[in-house]
Structure 1
Amino acid sequence: MNLAVAHTDPAALISRCETAGVRTVLNEADYESGAVLPAGPWQPLATELAARLKPDATTADDTLVELVKLPDGPAPVSLAALADPLGDPDAVHLGQAASPAKALTTTPNYQDGRRIGLHVDNWDRLDYDSKDTGRRRLCFNLGPGACYLLLADLDIRTICRTLYSDPGSRYPHTDDLRAYVASHRSLRVLRIRLDPGEGYIAPTELLPHDGSTEGQSEPSTAAFWLGHWPRGVLPALV
């Protein structure tokens, strides 16, 4: 397992997290062909798995998932300025994305509107050897509804090592994730609940991921930033 989620209270993590397998999309109008989706039913996160998610001394900040909440104190002058004091002067505000209620996954292909399912980001255009050094994504759920962060338990470099004899020559891509799942190899996905005002910092260049509003009766809007932040810059949820 490559996924590492910072936490000091396993019970708090377990209370907001579930896990399931995955499946490949075939002939579903709302999704790209080959897209990777959670395959229910969702199961509670086992105590043993929660323990395995805890980072160790070798876990680099750039590869760590943190579940966070808005800091105390005065509100920033603008939403875009929220990340200004967090330690990366070059952090970028990506804007906001609105998601409808009851969506299994939320990210669309902006060319035709079909959803892409679990995917890896490619803002930093990194090759295999550098893929674990990309910027992490900061996200806050602005509400009004709750949403979920979906995370695969294997990173895209591990997936490429499994698929190819020469992974070092590749630029890891969502297509590699789809090929891995289509070849019936094992992958699990975690679903982590985020209420309004809660969020995450995650290596979305490295970990297959998406958002979800499955089972939620209200839509939600998320705000996003990219940056190189040390761990612990925002108050932890768990």
Structure 2
Amino acid sequence: MPLYLAFNDLGALRARCDVAVVRTAKDEAEYEDGAVVPSGRWQPLDDEAGRALAAPERARSSMLVEIVRPPVPTGRGLDDLAKPLGDDRAEYIGQALAEPGMRTTTDNYRDGRLIGLHLDNWDKLDYGRRTVGRRRLALNLGPGDRYVVLGDLDAQAVCRAVHPDSYERRYPHTDDYRTYAAVGHPLGCVRIRLAPGEGYLAPTEYLLHDGSTEGQDKPSAMAFWLGHWSRGILPSLV
């Protein structure tokens, strides 16, 4: 299944969403060679493209992206913030601070180079089980705005394209997307603006993603949780 967003108001989505194609990084000091990154030629989301992103009513919650208003943190910290949302095994996995002006935000801890758009692998799911993984809940702690950037093609589709004879035995990986993009297959992305106090729910083991502070003049910190949450468990911002 491609990128699907659960939203109620196309105009509200368009007001915070842009689209672009991706490119492959090569000989760029800040990026790993082969990293998949937004081209930077962002365009407004039009009505036709927006309607194509609309999630079917019967789509599995674990495969959907939602732009949401997470609970307000209390003085007791962030560890248990997500547990009242319906999954008492939800896991707080920490925070990430991004300086302003970053096209993408996640680096390789070994050498500090940015990895670009990527797949998570917390649940270590093979091809057939990728659709049932936990979703990531993210909350922008501020002080600045930031974006979530999402690829428009799911990990199973890319894995089938790159490994046509063995995809059922594979564990979809960021490298599959890098191979897919490097040979010229079309791949797009969307970025969705998140103000402080706003966030998202997304299947980050199923969809290419990363954060971005491109064009922003303030840093922002993001807090993250993993869990199994039903569609509509949090108020939608769109």
Q: Give the TM interval when normalised to the shorter protein.
A: over 0.9
**2:195 corresponds to which residue?**
195
Report the 3-state secondary structure (helix = DSSP H, G, I; strand = E; otherwise coil) of the residue aligned with 1:80: coil
Amino acid at match of 1:127: D
Q: Which moved more, 1:94-103 or 1:49-58?
A: 49-58
Which letter maps to 2:87? Answer: D
- Alignment match, 1:11: 11
Q: Take 1:50 and 1:14, find their aligned partners in 2: how far apart are those partners?
A: 7
CA contact (8 A) 2:71 2:81 kept: no
List per-residue Cα deviations over 1:21-80 (Å, max 9, x = no partner): 1100001111111000000210000101111111113410000000001347x9473222
Distance 1:48 1:229 in 2: 29
Read off the aligned partner of 2:179 and give its amino acid letter: A
Q: How does 1:142-161 map to 2 (within 5 A)?
A: 142-161=141-160
Match of 2:204, SS state, is coil
User: Contact conserved, 1:105 with 1:115, CA < 8 A, in 2?
Assistant: yes
Counterpart position of 1:185: 185
Paired with 1:184 and 1:58, the residues of 2 have a C-alpha distance of 33
Write the mapping of 1:156-171 to structure 2, written as runs, cut at 5 A. 156-165=155-164, 166-171=166-171
Is the CA contact (8 Å cut-off) linking 1:94 and 1:224 kept in structure 2?
A: yes
Identity, % of aligned positions: 54
Provide the rounded CA distance (Å) in 2 between the counterparts of 1:180 and 1:70: 34
The residue identity in structure 1 corresponding to 2:63 is T
Instruction: Tell me, in whole angstroms, the C-alpha distance in 1 between the residues paired with 2:140 and 2:205.
Output: 20
CA contact (8 A) 2:130 2:156 kept: yes
Give TM-score scaled by structure 1 length.
0.97
Q: Give the RMSD, CA atoms, in angstroms.
A: 1.2
- Conservation of the 8 A alpha-carbon contact between 1:71 and 1:235: no
CA distance in 1 between counterparts of 2:82 and 2:75 reads 9
1:35 maps to: 35
Distance of 1:172 and 1:122 partners within structure 2? 9
Where 2:176 maps in the other structure, the secondary structure is helix
**In the aligned structure 1, how far is the partner of 2:64 from the partner of 2:163?**
25
> Distance in 1 between the 2:148 and 2:93 partners?
17
Give the length in aligned residue pairs: 237
Output the CA distance in 2 between the equivalents of 1:71 and 1:178.
36
Residues 141-162 of structure 1 show CA distances to partners (whole Å, capped at 9, x for unaligned) of 0000000000000011111112
Within the alignment, does 1:2 sit opposite 2:2 as a pair?
yes
- What TM-score do the two structures reach when normalised by structure 2? 0.97
Q: Unpaired runs of 5+ in structure 1?
A: none
Q: Secondary structure at the match of 2:67?
A: strand
User: Which amino acid in 1 is paired with 2:52?
Assistant: R
C-alpha contact (below 8 Å) 1:37/1:118 kept by paired residues: yes
SS at match of 2:81: helix
SS at match of 1:3: coil
The alignment partner of 2:33 has SS state of strand
Paired letter, 1:200:
Y
